[in-house]
Chains A and B, each alone.
Chain A
Amino acid sequence: MTRSEFKKTALGGITSNPVFVLVLGMCPTIAKSDNVINAVSLGLCTAAVLILSNVIISLLRKVIPDKVHLPAYIIVIASLVTLVQMIVSSFLPTLNDSIGAFISLITVNCIILGRAEAFAGKNKVLPSFIDGVSMGIGFVLSITLLGAVRQGLTAAFGSGFFDKTMGGFIVLGLMMALFNQIFHIVKQRQKHRAALIERGEP
């Protein structure tokens, strides 16, 4: 695990952010990010399941034959989600009231199976763990940001639009465009700096 590989996977959560760049896991992101508490708690549960599933799947990757790798991955993810659901409903009743129903949505969150097939199924355990952590953090940050923006807008303009799915679509679309623009400017500046360095100027 060379340093550069570590750095590349660790920054995966930001450079290839699951929500804004890879465009995965849109269903819970739009459905349940109408306020910050829902967003944060759902994000944390998803991150926990994502990390665990990445580790377990990368452990099992050599054992599972190619024909049934999809159902096998999904059983692991679904049982992890049910486990989290049980833990939350029996040990954290307050959390269960607010997001109990959303946890079952995590099983079909495309990020987890996406990362499992694209990354965990092909790499060793440590890189998968790092990828799980960085993707989890990336997801939590972006869904919380979205939740905060939507809550702010609902507070400002009154409920009825921004906390509904239509508001979610539009706010997410605009924020994705914003991030594209930011990434573009950052890349432009990096290239400009690289060009400067090439010519030897500081």
Chain B
Amino acid sequence: MDYFVGIVSIVISGMLTNNIVLNQSLGICPFLGVSKKTQSAVGMGLAVTFVISVSSCVCWLLYTFVLDLLDIGYLSTIAFILVIASLVQLLDIVLKKLSPSLYGSLGVYLALITTNCAVLGTANSVIAQGLDFFQTLMTGVSIGLGFTIALILMAGIREKQALYDIPRPFVGFPIALVTAGIMAMAFYGFSGLSFT
């Protein structure tokens, strides 16, 4: 029973209390870049969710059955990032073939997902916590959804902001950062949530 509670707490902490963008401040470059239109934000969020969950599972398998057994843990950074980069490029090729429309709205940012700190950050934290396979999958999915939630909220706000005249120095990234800061304050409120 408490294994199930553990899973629920992982999912909730991934999405709300420990949001990858607003609490751990990882994966901010695409977060600031893509969040202009809600439609492309949804696309980007789903792509990141897919990449994070698949890559954290693959990295977990790679770590436990290869790196850990041979005690070459120091190579984990290289192995993980190699897997992530290749996965993103494969996603890029497959997406271009299957749905050019979705690829159109995400085109520029697929390459950025590789350097997205959230993906490698999740892979590393999953290994550090020593979770088992199913927990890893749930963490990856919940962190990806957390990223998507933050991205869609941000896109909604920034679309509204485009209508008002913002003082000249704040136009563009500064106002996005300040908005993200205020959103982070709101998400900080979730940290009171506990599951005992």
Which chain A residues have a beta carbon within 8 Å of chain B's beta carbons? 23-28, 30-31, 70-71, 74-75, 78-79, 81-82, 85-86, 104-105, 107-110, 113-114, 117, 164-170, 172-174, 176-178, 180-181, 184
B164 proximal to A (CB < 8 A): no
Binary CB contact string for chain B from 93 to 111 against chain A (1 if under 8 A, 0 otherwise): 0000000000000000001
- Choose one: B81, B89, B168, B170; the contact of A78 (CB below 8 Å): B81
Given A31-B24, A177-B169, A170 contacting B75 (CB threshold 8 A): no
Q: Which residues 1-40 of B have a CB within 8 angstroms of A?
A: 22-29, 32
Contact B115 A86 (CB under 8 A): no
Binds A, one of B45-53, B56-64, B117-125, B137-145: B117-125
Q: Looking at the assembled complex, report how far the CB atom of A51 sits from the nearest CB atom of chain B, in whole angstroms.
A: 18
Query: B158-174 interface mask toward A, CB cutoff 8 Å, 1 = contact, 0 = none?
Result: 00000000011111011
Q: Determine if A78 and B78 form an interchain contact, defined as CB atoms under 8 angstroms apart.
A: yes
Assuming the contacts A74-B82, A108-B116, asked whether A165 and B77 have C-beta atoms less than 8 A apart, the reply is no
Total interface residues on B, CB under 8 Å, equals: 46
A selection of 16 A-B contacts at a CB cut-off of 8 Å is: A23-B29, A26-B32, A27-B25, A27-B26, A70-B114, A74-B81, A74-B82, A78-B77, A104-B124, A105-B117, A108-B121, A169-B178, A170-B181, A173-B175, A174-B178, A180-B174
Is the Cβ of A165 less than 8 Å from the Cβ of B24? yes
Instruction: With both chains docked as a complex, state the minimum distance between the C-beta of A90 and any C-beta of chain B, in angstroms.
Output: 11
B120 x A107 contact (CB < 8 A): yes
> Chain B residue with minimal CB distance to A170?
B181
Q: In the assembled complex, how far is the CB of residue B75 from the closest CB belonging to chain A, in whole angstroms? A: 7
Q: Known A74-B85, A173-B174, A176-B177; judge A31-B26 contact (CB<8 A).
A: yes
The answer to whether residues A27 and B81 also contact, given A173-B181, A177-B174 and a CB cut-off of 8 A, is no
Chain B residues whose CB sits within 8 angstroms of the CB of A104 once the complex forms: 77, 124
Q: Are A23 and B32 in contact (CB under 8 A)?
A: yes
Evaluate contact between B173 and A176: CB separation under 8 angstroms: yes
Min CB gap B188→A, angstroms: 6
Contact B175 A113 (CB under 8 A): no
Q: Are B78 and A31 in contact (CB under 8 A)?
A: no
Cβ-based interface call for B180 (8 A): yes
Measured CA separation A142–B119 after assembly (Å): 25
- Chain A residues positioned under 8 Å from B26 (CB to CB): 27, 31, 108
Are A168 and B25 within 8 A (Cβ)?
A: yes
Q: 1/0 per position for B118-134, CB-CB distance to A under 8 A?
A: 01110010000000000
Complex Cα distance, B88 from A114, in Å, reads: 16
Q: Binding site of B, secondary structure by majority: helix, strand, loop or mixed?
A: helix
Shortest CB-to-CB span from A108 to chain B, Å, is 4
Interchain CB contact under 8 A, B28 and A71:
no
Cβ-closest chain B residue relative to A161: B185
A172 touches B177 (CB 8 A): yes
| Any A CB within 8 A of the CB of B112 | yes
Q: Which one, B24, B86, B170, B181, contacts A71 given CB within 8 A? A: B86
Given contacts A104-B77, A173-B174, A173-B175, contact A113 B182 (CB under 8 A): no
**A74 CB contacts on chain B under 8 angstroms:** 81-82, 85, 114
B178 touches A173 (CB 8 A): yes
CB <8 Å contact, A177 and B32: no
Contact of B115 among A110, A177, A184 (CB under 8 A): A110
**Smallest Cβ-Cβ distance to A24: which chain B residue:** B29
Contacts of B29 in A (CB 8 A): 23-27, 110
A113 and B169 contacting across the interface, CB-CB below 8 Å: no
A19 to B85, CA, bound (A): 24
Residues of A within 8 A of B114 (CB): 70, 74, 113
Are the C-beta atoms of A166 and B185 separated by less than 8 Å? yes
